[in-house]
């Protein structure tokens, strides 16, 4: 059977993780959320008040950090941090930390190991361009900023969070700005990725579109 390696990239709130999870379920393959890994590292840096301008300390910390993704949960050094890493105070620092080469090199190495000799769907910002350059399916998911912020706002409201729509909108815009403009492995559409604009589309529609791409190629 042909190996299935799917790379999903795109800006914040484009629906990457929800859609990737569903595609993974339908195909019976593993889903790897690389954003969760950058978030877990960010949480550890915040908690330990690590100076991110000090690459030596950062590298030491990264080498002694264990991040595992299991049954939809994210573990940082054995602790379930799935909920905490989604909080706005983590989102507000993650792009600054993800722009650091020492952080990216370590996480890319881990991500490649996780995907080794498996059928996977992996989502992030540099999957089709860096992590899994040889993926046989590459998708770039996007949507208007307003729609992406509205989706995130709905998620936060469901968790009874007091975050405002404006705060979410600002977070998304700022993360996109940093992610797209960093010098090392910025967010760009891979030349061979298929662009899907999810504005106005339902989750199921996009999932079906991706499944069709995989079936037909
Ligand atoms: O996917 P999510 O929005 O949770 O990712 C959080 C942040 O992690 C992004 O805004 C980006 O700064 C960083 N990230 C990255 N490369 C990836 C995945 C996420 O730089 N492959």
* Domain chopping of the chain, boundaries: 5-212
- The model's pLDDT over 189-217, given as tens digits with 9 standing for 90+, comes to 999 999 999 999 999 999 999 999 999 98
Of the listed ranges 76-80, 147-151, 156-160, the least confidently predicted one is 156-160
What is the H or E stretch that residue 33 is in? strand 30-33
- Proportion of the chain above pLDDT 70, given as a percent: 100
Q: What is residue 60's predicted lDDT score, i.e. its pLDDT?
A: 97
- The model's pLDDT over 129-154, given as tens digits with 9 standing for 90+, comes to 999 999 999 999 999 999 999 999 99
CA of 98 to the centre of ligand 1 (A): 7
Decide: 148 in ligand 1 pocket, CB within 6 A.
Answer: no
- Shortest-distance atom of ligand 1 to CA 9: 21
- How far apart CA 123 and CA 12 sit, in angstroms, is 11
* Contact criterion met (CB below 8 Å) for 102 and 55: yes
- How far apart CA 103 and CA 62 sit, in angstroms, is 7
* Contact criterion met (CB below 8 Å) for 137 and 214: yes
Q: Give the closest residue (by CA) to ligand 1 atom 5.
A: 35
Return the ∠ at Cα 191 (arms to 185 and 193), rounded to 5°.
Answer: 95
Note the pTM of the prediction, 2 decimals: 0.96
Confidence label for 156 from pLDDT (cuts 50, 70 and 90): confident
Return the CATH fold of 5-212.
Rossmann fold (3.40.50)
CA of 38 to the centre of ligand 1 (A): 6
20-43 CB burial, b ≥16 within 10 A, e <16: bbbbbeebebebbbbbbbbbbbbb
């Amino acid at each position: 059977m042909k190996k299935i390696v799917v790379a999903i990239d795109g800006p914040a709130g484009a629906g990457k993780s929800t859609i990737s999870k569903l595609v993974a379920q339908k195909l019976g393959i593993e889903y790897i959320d690389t954003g969760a890994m950058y978030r877990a590292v960010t949480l550890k840096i915040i908690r330990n008040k690590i100076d991110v301008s000090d690459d030596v300390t950062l590298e030491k910390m990264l080498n002694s950090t264990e991040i595992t993704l299991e049954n939809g949960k994210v573990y940082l050094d054995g602790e379930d941090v799935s909920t905490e890493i989604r909080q706005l105070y983590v989102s507000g620092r993650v792009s600054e930390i993800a722009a650091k080469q020492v952080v990216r090199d370590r996480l890319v190495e881990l991500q490649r190991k996780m995907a080794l000799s498996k059928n996977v769907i992996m989502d992030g910002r540099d999957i089709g361009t860096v992590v899994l350059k040889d993926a046989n399916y590459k998708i770039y998911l996007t949507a208007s900023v307003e729609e992406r912020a509205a989706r995130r706002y709905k998620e936060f409201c469901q968790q009874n969070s007091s975050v405002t729509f404006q705060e979410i909108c600002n977070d998304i815009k700022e993360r996109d700005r940093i992610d797209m403009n960093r010098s090392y492995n910025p967010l760009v559409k891979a030349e061979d990725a298929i662009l899907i604009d999810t504005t106005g589309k339902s989750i199921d529609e996009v999932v079906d579109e991706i499944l069709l791409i995989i079936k037909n190629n």
